[in-house]
Amino acid sequence: MLTIRPPIHPGEILREEFLVPLRLKPYSLARELHVPRTRIERLAAEKSPVTPDTALRLAKFFDTTPEFWMNMQAGFDLATELAAKKDDISSIRSLRAA
């Protein structure tokens, strides 16, 4: 059986683990990353996903890895999709069960 956990958007991590503790505003971070202010504002507000471009820029600025950001996004996307299609996915039988 698949376990459904509440998905955590990468924007929440950006906001709560990076922006708030470092007292950075989305506008300031956007300026440092050379991206439009709205890109970071929408990400921090959990209204848009982390793109590969944004992941590369965040990784460079925060000394993390692009995979850190992209894996969070993939995990969020998978959890969200599973929640939306739980019944359909649960009805698929496993090859081992055949």
pLDDT in tens, 9-38: 999 999 999 999 999 999 999 999 999 999
Long-range pairs of 90-95 with CB within 8 A, sequence gap ≥ 24: 90/1, 90/2
Per-residue pLDDT tens over the stretch 76-92: 999 999 989 999 999 99
List the structure tokens of 20.
């708030």
The pTM of this model reads: 0.87
Long-range pairs of 51-57 with CB within 8 A, sequence gap ≥ 24: 57/33
Indicate the pLDDT class of residue 70, thresholds 50, 70 and 90.
very high
Q: Which residue has the tokens 């996004």?
A: 73
